[in-house]
Structure 1
């Protein structure tokens, strides 16, 4: 689960960078739910792995959290309309 959430977070980060390009802000509407699913996968990974093997899941949770926050801020300033 940790590796899946980490890869999910990397894909979400790449998608976030693409959605920052003008006229592609509509991608944030799809990005936020995508990153939320990645955060849920990371939380499940943290819950069910041993304490020593939680690094990837924690990193995936942080990456997906950053993507969610940036996506919400971008939509808040009107980046998803155009």
Structure 2
């Protein structure tokens, strides 16, 4: 059950991450990363690995995008 919740949190974060790829919306990753971190914590408590892995991918994409835009130095 926790794995399904983690997947839903990851998909929710991914929905916010998609428009954040547009120019001038990169600041939205400051909201996406904490949401995905919550999903990662829930996924870490689950038996399955799919939700945890989805949230890890969303976090990595967000951090890389912030680094490219100068949000994280």
**What range describes the TM-score normalised by the shorter chain of this pair?**
0.7 to 0.9
Number of equivalences: 70
4+ long deviations beyond 2 Å: none
Larger radius of gyration, structure 1 or 2? 1
2:52 alignment partner in structure 1: 61
* TM-score, normalised relative to structure 2: 0.86
Q: Distance in 2 between matches of 1:31 and 1:65?
A: 12
Assess, with a 3 A threshold, how the Cα gap between structure 1 residues 11 and 79 changes in structure 2: closer, same or farther: farther
- Structure with more relative contact order (C-alpha pairs < 8 Å, separation 6 or more): 1
Q: Which ranges in structure 2 are unaligned for 5 or more consecutive residues?
A: none
Superposed CA RMSD in Å reads: 1.3
* TM-score, normalised relative to structure 1: 0.78
